[in-house]
Amino acid sequence: MSTKTFFRLGVIFVVLLLLSGTTYVVNEAEQVIVTQLGEPVGKPVMTPGLHFKLPLVQKANYFDKRFLEWDGDPNQVPTKDKRFIWVDTYARWRISDPLKFFQRLRDERGAQSRLDDIVDGETRSAVARHDLVEVVRTSNREAAPIETGSEEETVLEKIQTGRQVIVDEILKRASARAADLGIELMDFRLKRINYVEEVQKDVFARMIAERNRVAQRYRSEGEGEAARIRGERERDLQRIQSEAYRTAQGLRGKADAEATNIYAEAYGRDADFYAFTKSMETYELTADPKGMLILTTDSDFLKYLKRSP
């Protein structure tokens, strides 16, 4: 069996090796630089599919064609208004010129560390050139009205540049510096912005104070309103009662006056007779079974008793 079979196997192995050395497969997400003994040869291969090269002396160097991520380390950066914040950024980039990329950076690891230098640097200087509020806010949008609190609404500070402009600026500067490396920066964003711990404490304290102010306001609003309603109650009560009293007294007075007029008109015809009838009525009304009546004989009633007929 042996020698012949081994020979045949050997031939097949060598043929396979040569074949595999002459072909390489580029997939959709890749691009290739062919190097001959380390020196780049020809144009970068961008189209996916099967490609050929010289075996042994030429080598296919693969690069990613897709958008790649770059994630910055969170950085402690002071803003223009001297507030220390953590800034965490990310960027999307791609290898736009694989030849340059290969010559300058060799591989992605090299690229990441160069991007760290470039983007972090630009971020740092851009943030330092602006106030914190400019980095946080994007537009001079008006805050939506809050129905309950009148003074509760904190008015949003006006900004001059805003986040988007700063971000664009960083992207532009970083792109310019990265272009020479065969890198195209697609997008840059501020992922996270946060106060550093010491500042955060102050901010929380401020928020608490502000909330307390609002709460205090609500409380005193409630007390004030309640007092006002109580006052209203007192006033309405007095008004209603006094108005009723006034009306009632007026009515009574008018009636008294009318009655007086009527009496005067009637009794005025003969005051003496009135006095007489009224006295008679009164005698009758005041007659008291337990009372004692002392009469003298010079009264009209008894005058006949004394005078003998």
Partner 1 sequence: MNRTVFEDRIHIDLDRFSEYAYLRKYLRPAVILLVFLILAFMTVYQVQPEEVGVVTRLGRFVRISEPGLSFKIPILEAVQKVPVQRQLKQEFGFRTEEAAVQTRYSPNAFPEESIMLTGDLNVAVVEWIVQYRVSDPYRYLFKVRNVEETFRSMNEAVMREVVGDRTVTEVLTVGRQDIETAVQEKLQHLAKQYDTGITVDQVVLQDVNPPDPVKPSWDAVNQAQQQRDRLINEARAEYNQVVPRASGEAEQAVLQAEGYSLDRVNRSQGDAARFKSLYDAYRRAPQVTRQRMYLETMQRVLPKTGGKIYLDKDAKGIIPLFTLEALQGRATSKEASQ
Interaction with partner 1 in 146-185: which residues (CB under 8 A)?
146-149, 152-154, 156-157, 163-164
Specify the stretch interacting with partner 1 by CB under 8 A; choose among 35-43, 52-60, 109-117, 191-199: 191-199
The 10 Å CB-count burial string (b at 16+, else e) for 134-155 is bbebeeeeeeeeeeeeeeeeee
d(CA 168, CA 174): 10
**Residues 154, 156, 157, 158, CA torsion sign:** negative
Count of residues that bind partner 1 according to CB under 8 A: 130
Task: State which of residues 80, 106, 172, 252 lies at the interface with partner 1 (CB under 8 A).
Answer: 252
Is 14 a binding residue for partner 1 by CB under 8 A? The answer is: no
d(CA 77, CA 128): 7
CB nearer to partner 1: pick between 37 and 144: 144
CB nearer to partner 1: pick between 37 and 255: 255
What residue type is assigned to position 289 of the chain?
P
Is 64 a binding residue for partner 1 by CB under 8 A? The answer is: yes
Task: State which of residues 288, 307, 308, 309 lies at the interface with partner 1 (CB under 8 A).
Answer: 288
Specify the stretch interacting with partner 1 by CB under 8 A; choose among 37-45, 97-105, 175-183, 254-262: 254-262
Let me know if 278 is exposed, middle or buried by CB neighbors in 10 A (0-12, 13-18, 19+).
Answer: exposed
Is 55 a binding residue for partner 1 by CB under 8 A? The answer is: no
Residue 156 C-beta: closest distance to partner 1, Å: 5
Is 306 a binding residue for partner 1 by CB under 8 A? The answer is: yes
Residue from 177, 160, 36, 60 nearest 115 by CA: 177
Structure-block tokens of residue 198? 């010491």
Is 80 a binding residue for partner 1 by CB under 8 A? The answer is: no
Is 215 a binding residue for partner 1 by CB under 8 A? The answer is: yes
**Residues 113, 118, 121, 122, CA torsion sign:** negative
Task: State which of residues 55, 110, 256, 275 lies at the interface with partner 1 (CB under 8 A).
Answer: 256
